[in-house]
């Protein structure tokens, strides 16, 4: 809990962390993005939130033939599946993870999405370093939802990131978000993701040891002393 508070305060002082309730917490990202877009002005807002245990997958995967079967089986294992609009593949949510969502709007055509994505990831890494966690960005072999803008500590993934670009009435809105492992059983999370994606018919060979929580890093550091 101290880690959550310290990180939340470093990311967005005074914003607070919303406790999420599954699908509604995920849908709130689009509500916030649309609200920001409706203002039709340049702006930025940040939301910090946690969520109940669930898997969050993409619209692409939700249209696969075996989706209903895979989602039902996952729910029966204690991991209900919800769908998000941003890119990537399946991720896990649960208590012990901090979700960071940033909503930014600008005139359509004025936003460089790759730069924005990179800047978001660098900001997360920089913020983690500000509280003593030696974070960087990069792809990690064997990690789930892999990408070059992962947040990485000691060669292991501590957070995944993804983006959505939505355009309305000449304005562009970008949702950039991350899910950061603070503590808990990562192997269990990865197994739930692999089980779900394999039932979809995908090759899912993610490895727990390619990931790390902030708590894992802290405990490792203490043991080395």
Partner 1 sequence: MTDVVVPAGLWSETDEAAISSWFYAEGDMVSAGAVIAEIMVEKTSFELLAPASGSLHIAVAAEVPIAAGDVVGRIA
Rank residues 87 and 142 by Cβ distance to partner 1 and give the closer one: 87
Q: Is 217 left (phi over 0), alpha (psi -120 to 50) or beta?
A: alpha
Strands (E), the chain: 17-19, 43-50, 54-58, 81-84, 91-93, 97-107, 135-137, 151-153, 156-168, 171-181
The C-alpha angle with vertex 206 and arms to 22 and 89, in degrees rounded to 5, equals: 45
Select 91 or 190, whichever has its Cβ closest to partner 1: 91
98/174 with CB nearer partner 1: 174
Contact between residue 145 and residue 162 where contact means Cβ atoms under 8 Å apart: yes
Cα–Cα distance, 115 to 165 (Å, whole number) = 13
Q: Report in angstroms how near the CB of residue 13 gets to partner 1 at its nearest.
A: 28
Q: Which is nearer to partner 1, 100 or 164 (CB)?
A: 164
CB of 32 to partner 1, least distance (A): 16
Give me the least distance between CB of 164 and partner 1, in Å please.
5
Residue whose CB is less far from partner 1, 50 or 150? 150
Instruction: Report the chain's terminal Cα–Cα distance, integer Å.
Output: 23
Which one-letter DSSP state was computed for residue 55?
E
State the nearest-atom distance from the C-beta of 111 to partner 1, in Å: 8
Show the tokens assigned to 194: 């692999």
Q: Among residues 87 and 95, whose Cβ is nearest to partner 1?
A: 87
Give Dmax over CA atoms of the chain in angstroms: 57
Question: Nearest distance from residue 74's CB to partner 1, in Å?
Answer: 20
- Give the interface with partner 1 as residue ranges (CB under 8 A): 58-60, 63, 85-88, 109, 113-114, 117, 145, 147-149, 161-167
Q: How far is the CB of 37 from partner 1 (least distance, A)?
A: 12
């Amino acid at each position: 809990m101290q880690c959550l508070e310290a990180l939340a305060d470093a990311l967005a002082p005074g914003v607070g962390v919303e406790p999420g309730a599954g699908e509604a917490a995920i849908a709130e990202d689009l509500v916030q993005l649309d609200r920001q877009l409706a203002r039709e002005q340049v702006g930025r807002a940040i939301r910090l939130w946690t969520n109940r245990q669930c898997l969050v997958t993409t619209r692409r995967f939700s249209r696969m033939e075996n989706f209903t079967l895979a989602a039902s089986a996952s729910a029966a294992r204690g991991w209900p599946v919800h769908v998000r609009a941003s890119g990537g593949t399946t991720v896990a949510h649960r208590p012990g993870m901090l979700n960071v969502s940033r909503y930014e709007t600008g005139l359509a055509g004025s936003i460089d999405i790759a730069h924005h994505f990179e800047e978001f990831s660098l900001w997360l890494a920089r913020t983690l370093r500000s509280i003593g966690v030696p974070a960087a960005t990069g792809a990690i072999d064997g990690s789930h939802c892999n990408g070059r803008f992962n947040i990485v500590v000691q060669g292991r993934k501590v957070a995944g990131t993804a983006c959505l670009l939505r355009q309305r009435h000449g304005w562009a809105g970008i949702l950039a978000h991350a899910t950061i492992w603070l503590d808990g059983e990562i192997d269990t999370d990865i197994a739930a993701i692999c089980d779900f994606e394999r039932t979809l018919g995908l090759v899912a060979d993610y490895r727990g040891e390619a990931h790390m929580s902030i708590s894992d890093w802290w405990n490792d550091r203490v043991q080395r002393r």
